[in-house]
Amino acid sequence: MTQTISRIARLHLPLALYLLFTLIPFYWMLVFALRPPGNTSLVPWPITFEHFDTVWNGVGFGLFFQNSLIIGIGTLVTVTIFALMGGYALARFRFKGQRVFLLALLCTQFIPGAMMLIPLFVIFKNTGLLNSLTGLVIADTAFQLPLALILMSGFVRNVPVELEEAAMVDGCTRLRAFFAVTLPQLRPALVAVGSFAFIGAWNNFLF
């Protein structure tokens, strides 16, 4: 019994101290957010939401949040659709230069986004997309799509092609076999690719 308590103390006490150290900044942030102006106590009492109202309505944070949400969801939908189509083509068909194309997709991840600011600015200015949410969705899609294509093609390869062939033997077209057999197996892939695209667009404050 004593050895068990000693082992638990050696394991859990350092973890508890580390957890306390980690949560202190969050608690401090919560105190500043909820305590009234001029209150310097360490406990947020009485609780007020005045600061949230000031930030949301006073400085326009609500509009900023709405724009970020539109850009993130737009990028998520666009990247997921194109990655699904392109990833399926890369996984199921063979064409000349396929490996070179995949290598080029991979190499795009080494290009810093800051290098593309001036070219994108010129392109969007000439096409009338400057200072628009649509332009940001297109830009974020262009940067998120290569990795999404690579990930989606890997997920599609993990779905046995024999399942589609069996469906086509039963009379399905390739498109019908894709929607009936392959697409349900790709739900985790859609969640993963969509999450990466949304987070990438949400954090892309530079653009």
Domain ranges of the chain: 2-57, 60-202
82 confidence band (pLDDT: 50, 70, 90): very high
Q: Which residues contact 45 (CB under 8 A, 6 or more apart)?
A: 35
Q: Which of 8, 171, 142 is nearest to 83 (CA)?
A: 142
| Residues 95, 103: Cα–Cα separation, whole Å | 14
Kindly state the tokens that stand for 93: 């068909």
Q: Are 166 and 159 in contact (CB under 8 A)?
A: no
Domain at 60-202, CATH from 2.40.50.140, 1.20.120.530, 3.40.1110.10, 1.10.3720.10:
1.10.3720.10
Looking at residue 170, what is its pLDDT? 84
> pLDDT tens across 4-41, in order?
667 666 777 788 888 888 888 888 888 888 888 777 77
Looking at residue 24, what is its pLDDT? 85
Looking at residue 49, what is its pLDDT? 80
Taking the model in full, what pTM does it have? 0.74
Q: What's the sign of the alpha-carbon dihedral 171, 173, 178, 184?
A: negative
The values of phi and psi at residue 131, to 5°, are 60, 40
Number of alpha carbons in the 13 Å side-chain half-sphere of residue 128: 0
Looking at residue 75, what is its pLDDT? 94
pLDDT > 60? residue 1: no
Residue 124: Cβ within 10 Å count = 18
Residue 104: Cβ within 10 Å count = 11
Phi-psi region of 11 (alpha: psi -120 to 50; beta: other; left: phi over 0): alpha
